[in-house]
Amino acid sequence: MSQLPHPSFDMIRSEAVDSLNIVVHEYRHKVTGAQHIHIEADNSENVFLVALRTVPEDSTGVAHILEHTALCGSEKYPVRDPFFMMIRRSLNTFMNAFTSSDWTAYPFASQNRKDFDNLLDVYLDAVFFSRLDKLDFAQEGHRLEFEDTENPASDLVYKGVVYNEMKGAMSSIPSQLWHKLCEKLYPTTTYHYNSGGDPAEITELSYEQLQEFYQSHYHPSNAIFMTFGDIPVHELQEKFEDQALCKFQALDKTISVPAEQRYDNPQQYNAHYPLDDQDADTNDKTHIVMSWLLGKSTDLAATLEAQLLSSLLLDNSASPLQQALETTELGSSPSPLCGLDDSQFELSFCCGIEGSNPEQNKALEDLVLGVIENLAENGLPQEQVEASLHQLELQQREIGGDSYPYGLQLILTGLTAATHRGDVLALLNLEPALAELREKAQQADFVQQLARRLLLDNQHRVTLTMAPDPKLAQQQLDEEKQKLAAIKAGLNEEEKQAIIDQSLALLERQNQVDDASILPKVGIADVPASSHYPDPENGALGELPYTRYAAGTNGLVYQQIVIKTPQLSDELIPLLPYYCMALTELGVGEQDYLQSQMKQSQIVGSMSAFSSVRGTVNDSQEINAYISLSAKALTRNHKALCDLMLDTLHNVRFDELQRLQELVAHARARMQQSVTGSGHSLAMTAASAGISPCAQLTHRLTGLAGIQAIKDLDESFANETALQAFADKLKAIHQLVLASSKQYLLVSDKESLDTLSDNLAELWPNTQSQGGELLSLPKQNSRLQQAWTTNTQVNFCAKAYPTVASGHEDAAALSVLGGFLRNGYLHRAIREQGGAYGGGASQDNNIAAFRFYSYRDPRFEETLTDFDGALEWLANTEHDEQALEEAVLGVISALDKPSSPAGEAKQDFHARLHGRSPEVREDFRQRILKVSIADLQRVAKTYLRPELASTVVICPPAGEASAKSLGLDIINL
């Protein structure tokens, strides 16, 4: 395809990246200097992103609040919420906006060309011609309101979406640790500040400052356009030019991040984080981290060297620093911050521990520096270096797209380099640089010199000790109350009335119905007649069935051994996630876990085990359950991969008791940290626990009950007898798994499949185990009313109702209902008016439950009322067909959303495994397209009845009184 530019652009260069099957083109806009990077690919999922270099000089969150406010209406589309309105009028596969530490980006993706053009039109206008209405700033950023809106005698409070979002984000201890570390590691540059906004400083940002930041930063001269897909580049650039760039001249200002001023000596700092419980035990709750500032992220060779060193030190449990941090008695587990950060102008390397005490900071420094000194003196075996180089090659080759669209992943890979005016093409085509690094790594003392140069001789090092303070949360709350009281005391009557007037004006604006017809849209007529389903090939190795898929995996093979989950006793069922976790983390045969971890890193990109439990298509009280051992590798390593997987399955050892204890401690830390980021999911899972056995099991294993259980399990290991009993139970599960029936899954490039299948036939057993009784679970039919209290500044609310499985005729209408309620009522009530970061509703056909939720929410009593209000609105309002079409499009877009080639194959296999054949999935899709408004009202009346609801909230301890008043049982997490 010809990629000659539009006349308004100059072509700078072009380069094919054979390892990724793409061609990367770089262009520059002649007038403004705007950069355009186009990634040409034979892929119909086209991606667009425009990024602005945003370099805040304080922690007011100006870039973050601007990201939100810019999407609240523009010159061409003067409606108050074009972003969320377009989500509903689109077949997008991705729509969002991001604020990083030094850039703000607006990306979207779509497989439909009409939809792509619509979204491009709206995005360009939103970014470059935003209205920045003052009321939108008040809604999205921060504002003052009286607690009783029209009563100036009531207390003042702060409100705002970003304000509450960051209160939630900064409830996370790792987030507090990261921002405090950046403050110390970067004493003079923009990374010193919290670009998302510190809640204590967000309220200092003025509307005028927001406008000034927009004028200086949101200009094409400061913009980076990045695109991916099969649309000709001149067509893209014609739209850029006609819809935005032709209206600008070059900006006489260059926005960039300077090099950081370097410390002459290592620095030590102490800090504190709040514990909500003033009587809490502070022992073993301190985080200690060490971090070094390295070279520029735009220097590809330096970045790869840093990645290699980080991998050598931390890649797996056999890596020397990871091993030291996992096994030390100075703390309970490695810090979640461990690793290399390459997202900023200068790289940083971090390591440390959590679950420690302040007085251990010197001992941790000695431990870490001792490990690095040993590396600098003695190096590592060359096979370990080769294993890390192997991991870098795998990362380069793998085609992603399971979480973000693949094209967006590539774009984000290059965005850091583009932001700092580095070489994007080199970053996307790593093969030459990897070859150079591999050659350097053959030098006898290369690793030793690397460790000494980057770490031991590097004086820009910070050690941060962050300890808990049970009084700090109340102190921060008191400071905010005092600040608000002082503001109120200084208000005259006119200023009080102005606050009231703004509140009422904002409420009126939130309730107004905009003319959505001015926005472009796609409709049901634009929906493809059917979805795409991969085509598997089934066969057998003797008695063992296998399924294989030909997919564009770029030289990788994905393989699974899939085992029917055997019947487990009530004592063993809660241990299923620990069994899956341990299966690939322990020693195998004569090798201990360190040797097996090293072997894995030499052969595979990853290997893990997971369990999947789903309700059947027609009855959610009946389940199908499987355990899968899954791995990926370069196809050249396939025989070794087969041997490794079988060896692991048949010869894993459960006698490494200390290793098991470490694994549980690390898993406990991860699960406890998940609450602030995934609280809405945890609340929904808990609220659904009484509805179906699958929901109940998820709550017990990985939900709030699972977090409680792992705390108790971890603490029980103080008794060595309990640890041995735990290991014996895992071994008992394993014996049952070995006896259960199995099948194989193989996914790879078409040209490799036959060879790989021959390897399977040659190397893997071909006789089937007889198996035994398969896992079944008790039926569930109970209602829960709970409040889980934990260390958070915000709430997560959920309400769940029992409904039907996907095969039922009402499942389609319930699936559409979630989007209909979110679009028409919940988004406005919970996010815009309530100030939560998010809220909505959805039907989960797997567990036959309909759930309402809110995320990072300053309220919970009012939010629970809003959930009920949505149903009243549905029943008592006259609704139009456009709203229905938007909700249907949302469901279809999610069903048709592409994944990576390997991801689509794996998803299809497991869908079929659980009874969701293509015919079943397509039938459900067609039923979605036929849903009517009357169907929505009927299913809501039938299933979403007050007496059937379960309610769960996650809240701070201060919310206990309100929770009790609602009749909720209090559980301390």
The per-residue pLDDT for range 462-483, each reduced to its tens digit, is: 999 999 998 888 888 889 999 9
Beta strands 35-40 and 22-29 are antiparallel
Domain annotation covers residue 482: no
Length of the chain: 973
Which residues form the domain of 373? 267-469
Q: What CA–CA distance (Å, rounded) separates 786 from 963?
A: 8
Which residues lie closer than 8 Å to 208 by C-beta, 6 or more apart? none
Q: Are residues 368 and 442 in the same domain?
A: yes
3-class DSSP string for 598-647 = HHHHHHCCEEEEEEEEEECCCCCCCEEEEEEEEEEEEHHHHHHHHHHHHH
Same domain for 278 and 199, yes or no, is no
The neighbouring-strand residues paired with 608 are 630
Give the SS3 label for residue 793. coil
Per cent of the chain over pLDDT 90 is 82
Q: Note the pLDDT of residue 514.
A: 85
What's the pLDDT score for residue 900? Answer: 87
Residue 950 has pLDDT above 70, yes or no: yes
* Position 643 pLDDT exceeds 90: yes
Decide if pLDDT at 384 tops 80. yes
Cα separation, 97 vs 86, whole angstroms: 13
Query: Within this chain, do residues 704 and 789 fall inside the same structural domain, yes or no?
Result: no
Buried b (16+ CB within 10 A) or exposed e, 365-384: bebbbebbeebbeebbeeeb
| Neighbour-count burial for 295-321, b at 16+ CB within 10 Å, e otherwise | bebbbbeebbbbbbbbbbbbbbbbbbb
98 Cα distance to chain centroid: 12
**Is pLDDT of 280 > 80?**
no
Strand partners for 954:
788, 796
What is the arithmetic mean of pLDDT over 209-226? 97
What is the pLDDT at residue 279? 59
| Same domain, residue pair 125 and 76 | yes
Residues 289 and 311 in one domain: yes
Is residue 523 domain-resident?
no
In a domain, 775, yes or no: no
Runs of H (alpha helix) within 244-360? 300-314, 320-327
Encode pLDDT of 625-639 as tens digits: 999 999 999 999 999
Instruction: Please tell me the least confidently modeled range out of 252-266, 274-288, 952-966.
Output: 274-288
Strands 544-550 and 742-748: parallel
Are 34 and 50 spatial neighbours (Cβ–Cβ below 8 Å)? Answer: no
Residue 170: the pLDDT is 82
Q: pLDDT tens across 758-807, in order? A: 999 998 888 887 777 888 999 999 999 999 999 888 899 999 999 999 99
At 278 the pLDDT is: 59
What's CA 621's distance to the chain center, in Å? 30
Q: Same domain for 433 and 319? A: yes
pLDDT digits (tens, 9 = 90+) for 481-540: 999 999 999 999 999 999 999 999 999 988 888 888 899 999 999 999 899 899 999 999
Q: What is the per-residue DSSP string for 421-484? A: T--HHHHH--HHHHHHHHHHTTSTTHHHHHHIIIIIT---EEEEEEEEETTHHHHHHHHHHHHH
Query: Quick one: what percent of the chain has pLDDT higher than 70?
Result: 99
Give the pLDDT of residue 569: 93
Residue 538: what are its φ and ψ, rounded to 5°? -105, 145
| Domain end call among 712, 730, 763 | 763
528 in a domain, yes or no? no
Long-range contact pairs involving 453-458 (C-beta distance under 8 Å, separation at least 24): 454/292, 454/294, 454/305, 454/306, 454/309, 454/349, 455/292, 455/309, 455/349, 455/372, 456/369, 456/372, 456/373, 456/376, 458/292, 458/293, 458/294
- Rg over CA atoms, the chain: 28
Do strands 46-53 and 35-40 pair parallel, antiparallel, or not at all (unpaired)? Answer: unpaired
Give the residue-averaged pLDDT of 234-258: 95
Taking the C-alpha atoms of residue 290 and residue 361, their distance in angstroms, rounded to an integer, is 9
Is a pLDDT exceeding 60 seen at residue 832?
yes
The pLDDT of residue 277 is: 65
Tokens of 189: 């540059």
Judged by DSSP in three states, 14 sits in strand
pLDDT-based confidence at residue 165 (cuts at 50, 70, 90): confident
Q: Does residue 772 lie in a domain region?
A: no
The two most distant CA atoms of the chain are separated, in Å, by 87
Digit-coded pLDDT (tens) for 721-767: 999 999 999 999 999 999 999 999 999 999 999 999 999 999 888 88
pLDDT of res. 397: 79
Could you tell me how many helices (H) and strands (E) the chain has, helices first?
Answer: 35, 28
In a domain, 485, yes or no: no
| Contact between 160 and 140 (Cβ < 8 Å) | yes
Looking at the structure, tell me whether residues 858 and 959 fall in a common domain.
yes
- What's the pLDDT tens digit per position in 429-450? 888 888 999 999 999 899 999 9
| 938 vs 945: CA distance, rounded Å | 12
Same domain as 234, residue 252? yes
Domain match, 88 and 107 both = yes
Mean pLDDT for the chain overall: 93
Q: Which of 707, 731, 763 is the last residue of a domain?
A: 763
Residue 479 lies in a domain: no
> Based on the domain organization, do 586 and 701 belong to the same domain?
yes
Question: Which phi and psi (to 5°) does residue 541 adopt?
Answer: -105, 95
The angle formed by the CA atoms of residues 616, 619 and 620, to the nearest 5 degrees, is 75
Spell out the residues 6+ positions from residue 237 whose beta carbon is closer than 8 angstroms to its own.
Answer: 5, 6, 8, 9, 27, 36
Q: What mean pLDDT is predicted for residues 407-417?
A: 91
Can you give the pLDDT at residue 474?
A: 85
* Cα–Cα dist 457/322, whole Å: 21
Q: Please tell me the pTM assigned to this model.
A: 0.91
Instruction: Answer whether residue 769 is part of any domain.
Output: no
Inter-CA distances, 780 with 239, 688, 690, 695, Å: 56, 10, 5, 9
User: Do 230 and 304 fall within a single domain?
Assistant: no
The answer to whether residues 145 and 152 touch, using CB atoms and an 8 Å cutoff, is no
CATH number of domain containing 28: 3.30.830.10
Q: Residue 2 pLDDT > 60, yes or no?
A: no
The 3-class secondary structure across 666-713, one letter per residue, is: HHHHHHHHCHHHHHHHHHHHHHHCCCCHHHHHHHHHHCHHHHHHHHHH
Q: For residue 945, what are the CA distances in angstroms to 537, 806, 939?
A: 46, 20, 10
Cα 841 from Cα 376, distance rounded (Å) = 55
Can you state the percent helix, strand and coil of the chain, rounding each to 5? Answer: 50, 20, 30
Mean pLDDT value of segment 164-188: 91
Are 245 and 8 in contact by the 8 Å Cβ rule? The answer is: yes
State the pLDDT at residue 61: 95
C-beta atoms surrounding 53 within 10 Å: 20
Which helix H or strand E contains 150, and what residues bound it? Answer: none
Rounded Cα–Cα distance for residues 356 and 330 (Å): 6
Last residue of a domain, one of 763, 793, 808: 763
pLDDT of residue 763: 87
**What's the CA gap between 899 and 553, in Å, rounded?**
12
Cα 691 from chain centroid (whole Å): 27
CA–CA separation, 535 and 920 (whole Å): 15
Give all strands of the β-sheet with 623-634 in edge-to-edge order: 537-541, 544-550, 742-748, 556-564, 623-634, 606-615
Q: Name the domain count of the chain.
A: 4
Sheet containing strand 849-857, strands side by side: 838-844, 849-857, 795-802, 950-955, 785-789, 969-972
- Using DSSP's 3-state secondary structure scheme, residue 162 falls into helix
Could you write out the DSSP letters of every residue in 66-90? HHHHHTS-BSS--SS-HHHHHHHT-
Task: Work out the end-to-end distance of the chain between its first and last CA atoms, rounded to an integer number of angstroms.
Answer: 58
- Write out pLDDT tens, residues 359-372: 999 999 999 999 99
Do residues 792 and 954 lie in contact, with contact meaning Cβ atoms separated by under 8 Å? yes
Same domain, 351 and 393: yes
